[in-house]
Amino acid sequence: MKTFFNILHTINNSKIKHYPDEPFVILNNNGDNQHIIYLMNHIYYKEKQTNKTREFSRNAFAKLNALNDILKNSFYSDELKETIFNTFTKAQKCYYAFSRLAYIYKIKKHKYVVTDDLMTNKLDPNNKLTFILVEKNNNYLFNINELVTIIETAIGNSPNFFSDPLAPLNPYNNQKLGIATLYNIYFQMKHNHSVISLLFHCFFLENFNKYLFSELHETIIRENAIKKYTLNSPYILLYTSVFYMLENNKYTQKLLIHKHFPKKILVDIFRPFLFHYYMIHYYIKNTSKIYFSKILLHIKLKKFYEYNPLFGRVKIKLTKYNNKIIKREYFFNQKYISFYNITPN
């Protein structure tokens, strides 16, 4: 924080530089300097008061709250508020410029210990999709999309669909990704105009605090967990659930699906339907999304059945010669309408 205070003094052309943690002295400074000193003192004590454990979080919280207090102070004139705000803004720009310079220096000084993505493809450090993680005097190259997937897997951890976020780790050394790294990843994606998932954005909104994230965004985490489970789980885990779902609908319970119908094909057809089935049973109770899933699932299963009531049955083709059957061929009725092509009207 002292670096930021020093920048404030320099921008304000202070002849005598005094810092909040130094012994009290009487300074003959002009009015603007006195208000800048008050701002620094206010930032200093705000930082002492906060219960945030991370230095980055403490500094950001203290600076922004102290500035906000001054801008809301009715005893300050609008002109003085604007002067203080402009000085603060210039100091922030200088501070981040020095931080960026330090980051570039570290990249050039430290060695690259990982230069491939997780699929062992070579990465170009200058590519906009390459993220350089600087950690303990080493540089790690990542495809930023793979890195975001690692983060989302950790923060979306939900055993039995109950939110239990984990700290995102560097997969090469199992060290936690620092808050500054997470911010850099988020803003690099913003700079690249990449699509940021709702899960990662909500994590950002809570200053990458996994406890606040879990408490305030449980509904989003739960829905994400259900979606990942239904769309990515091996078909063998979902096969029985497909039949439970079909039997609980008065239309699809009439389907006679042969026991030898290919299991993988059956599950892949019904994965989108199964998402809403799991939403009904495992989403947070008494919410509108459960009601929506109930209505939507009922309509779509009904129309699925109406499109082909014979879906899943076995057909036999007989080949005869001299009125004798010489060959039997079995075919399954696989004609169906996709979940996404069924209109709910």
Whether residues 136 and 78 fall in one domain: no
Whether residues 237 and 331 fall in one domain: yes
Tens-place pLDDT, residues 29-85? 555 567 777 788 878 777 777 776 667 667 777 888 888 888 888 888 888 888 888
pLDDT of 81 reads 84
Q: Report residue 22's pLDDT band, with 50, 70 and 90 as the boundaries.
A: low
Whether residues 127 and 102 fall in one domain: no
What residue numbers bound the domain in which 284 lies?
233-341
> Is residue 220 scored above 90 in pLDDT?
yes
Q: Report residue 88's pLDDT band, with 50, 70 and 90 as the boundaries.
A: confident
> Is residue 25 scored above 50 in pLDDT?
no
Please indicate whether residue 17 or residue 312 has the higher confidence score (pLDDT): 312
The structure's pTM equals 0.72
pLDDT of 91 reads 84
228 within some domain = no
30 within some domain = yes
**The last residue of a domain, from among 86, 109, 132:** 109
Tens-place pLDDT, residues 75-87? 888 888 888 888 8
Q: Identify the CA nearest to 33 among candidates 93, 90, 83.
A: 83
Whether residues 103 and 194 fall in one domain: no
Whether residues 289 and 307 fall in one domain: yes
Q: What is the mean pLDDT of the chain?
A: 86
pLDDT of 233 reads 95
215 within some domain = yes
140 within some domain = yes
Q: What are phi and psi of 23, to 5 degrees?
A: -55, 145
Q: Report residue 161's pLDDT band, with 50, 70 and 90 as the boundaries.
A: very high
First to last CA, the chain: 60
| Count of the separate structural domains present in the chain | 3
227 within some domain = no
105 within some domain = yes
Whether residues 9 and 98 fall in one domain: yes
**The last residue of a domain, from among 109, 135, 165:** 109
**The last residue of a domain, from among 52, 82, 109:** 109
In the chain, beta strands by DSSP E: 111-114, 130-135, 138-143, 314-321, 324-332
